[in-house]
Amino acid sequence: MSHHELTAEETVVENLGVRKIDSPLAGRMAAQKVERRFLSDDDRVLVNPLITGDNPISKISFERAGPRREIYFDPSKVKAAIVTCGGLCPGINSVVRAVVLELHYIYGVRNIVGARFGFQGFIPDYGHPFVDLDASFIAGTHGRGGSLLGISRGHQDPTRIVDTLEMMNINILFTIGGDGTMRGALAIKKELDNRGLKLAVVGIPKTIDNDIRFAQSTFGFATAVEAAAKVIHGAHNEAISAEGGIGLVKLMGRHSGFVAATATLAHPDVNFCLIPEADFDMEGEHGFLNALEKRIMERDHAVIVVAEGAGQKYFEDQHYGLDASGNIRLGDIGIFLKEKIEGHFAKQDIPIDLKYIDPSYTIRSLPANATDRIYCSFLGQQAAHAAMAGKTGIMVTMWHDQMVYVPMKLSARKRRQVDTRGRLWHAVLETTGQMTMINPGAG
C-alpha cells in the first residue's frame, strides 16, 4: 500500500470505550511541579507532509502517541501481559523493560506477566509457565541481547490464546514482533471482538530487516547496521591484504535490503551491493561475474555485500519448504555466490583469495546500541500510554520523527521495501559505482 492508496478512515485508531478515569500522570506532574502537555486524539502527524494543496492525501494523518488526560483502565485492576515473538533482534529486552517500568512506576499497575516463548506461552499444551514481570526480573536488562521471555515462530490458534487471556483476566496484551506477529495479534483481536471482550491489543513492531510498512524505522535496525559496517570493514581489510582479494558478506534481508544498503553507505568501501529489490544477472557481458572480473583486473580486490533474499530467481527450480512461520525457505545466496565466483575465476585462470562471512545470527543476538536503547524506551513508554487509554489493534512506531499510533491492519497488508528509484538506492549506486547488472533483453 502506498501513501496514495490510503484513506482517512483506514488511519482511525480504535478505542475500547469512553475514557473516564483521571490519569495518575496528572497528580504526579503536579506534585513534581512538572509541566507536560497531555495529547488528544485530534493531535495528528501527516502521512505525507510534502503533498500540499487540494490533493486528498495531504489531509491524511496518523494519531500522535502520548499520554491522555483521561484513561480507560483502572490501574489498580489492570492485568497486563507481554509476549515476544519471531526471531531475535537487538533491543527486545529494552522494550519489555520500558513497558514494565512505565506501567508500574508511572501508572501504578502491579500485575504484569510475561508469556514464555512467544504465542506458545498462551497454549497450555506447551507447559510454559508465565513469569511475573517486576523490578527484579527486568533488572539489568536494558540493552541486553537475546530475549529474557524467549521467542518462537509459528501459528497458534487464536481461540485458544483468547481462552487463556480470558481465564487469566488479562486486560492488556503487548505483542512485540514482526509482520507475522502483527497478523497474529489481529487474529487475536478479531476473536476478542467476537466474544465482546474489552481487552487492548497493542503491538510494537520488531524486525531487524526494517520492513514494517508505515514504520520509519524498527528497533534493532541501527544496531544491525552498525555491526554490519564493522564486518564490512573486516572484509575490506581481508580483501586489500591478498592478491585478488574478495570479501563477500551476507547480511539479513529476506525481502527488503535496508540493512545491506544502509551498511554499504556506513562503510563505503563496498563495490557491489546486491538486494532483493534490484535484479541482477550472473552471466553475460553485463552480468555480475563479468563486472566483478573487471573490478579485480583493475583494482585487484573487491568487497561484495549481499542481502539473504537477493538473487532468489536462481533457486526457482528448487524447493526448500516452509519455515515455522509459513515463510518460504530461501536458497542460500551467499554460498551460491561463493561457488559461482570461485568457479568463474578458476575457469579464467585468474587467482583470487575469497573470504566469505555470514554474521547474521551474531548480529541478531547483539546488545542494542545507544540509539536503539533510547528508541526502545520511547516505544515502550508510548505503548503503555496507548494501552492505558484503551486503544487497541494498533502498533506504536515513529513517523516523520514523531511517535504515532498506526492501525495494525495497515502494516499487515504489505511489506516495506527499498525503492530502487529512491534516494537510498541511488546513494548506494553512487557509493559503490556499480552499474545495472542486467543483460539487454534478459527477463
pLDDT, tens digit (0-9, with 9 covering 90-100), for 76-109 = 999 999 999 999 999 999 999 999 999 999 999 9
For residue 135, the model assigns a pLDDT of: 83
pLDDT, tens digit (0-9, with 9 covering 90-100), for 222-268 = 999 999 999 999 999 999 999 999 999 999 999 999 999 999 999 99
Position 441 in a domain: no
Position 319 in a domain: yes
If asked whether residues 161 and 300 sit together in one domain, one would say: no
Distance CA(386)–CA(172), nearest Å, equals: 10
If asked whether residues 355 and 371 sit together in one domain, one would say: no
Position 160 in a domain: yes
Position 345 in a domain: yes
If asked whether residues 73 and 172 sit together in one domain, one would say: yes
Which grid coordinates belong to 422?
529512491
CB 397 within 8 A of CB 403: yes
Mean pLDDT check: name the lowest of 27-31, 374-378, 417-421.
Answer: 27-31
Stated pTM of the model: 0.93
- For residue 394, how many C-alpha atoms fall within 13 Å in the half-sphere facing its CB? 30
Between the alpha carbon of residue 235 and those of residues 221, 267, 301, 305, 343, the distances in Å are: 21, 11, 11, 10, 20
Q: Does residue 443 have a pLDDT over 70?
A: no
If asked whether residues 17 and 145 sit together in one domain, one would say: yes
If asked whether residues 370 and 360 sit together in one domain, one would say: no
CA 192-198-199 angle, to 5 degrees, is 70
For residue 246, the model assigns a pLDDT of: 98
If asked whether residues 263 and 386 sit together in one domain, one would say: no
If asked whether residues 114 and 202 sit together in one domain, one would say: yes
If asked whether residues 154 and 277 sit together in one domain, one would say: no
| pLDDT category of residue 4 using cuts at 50, 70 and 90 | low
If asked whether residues 286 and 376 sit together in one domain, one would say: no
Q: How many domains does the chain contain in total?
A: 2
Alpha-carbon dihedral sign for residues 235, 240, 243, 246: positive
- Residues with a catalytic annotation lie at 209
Position 81 in a domain: yes
If asked whether residues 274 and 387 sit together in one domain, one would say: no
Position 203 in a domain: yes
pLDDT, tens digit (0-9, with 9 covering 90-100), for 56-75 = 677 899 999 999 999 999 99
| pLDDT category of residue 1 using cuts at 50, 70 and 90 | very low
In the numeric block, the cell 502527524 is attached to 45
Looking up residue 314, the CATH number of its domain turns out to be 3.40.50.460
Distance CA(213)–CA(210), nearest Å, equals: 9
Position 437 in a domain: no
Collect all residues with Cβ–Cβ distance below 8 Å to 289 and sequence separation of at least 6. 282, 283, 340, 341, 344
Domain range enclosing 146: 3-218+366-413
If asked whether residues 201 and 239 sit together in one domain, one would say: no
Position 134 in a domain: yes
- Average pLDDT of span 28-35: 64
If asked whether residues 145 and 236 sit together in one domain, one would say: no
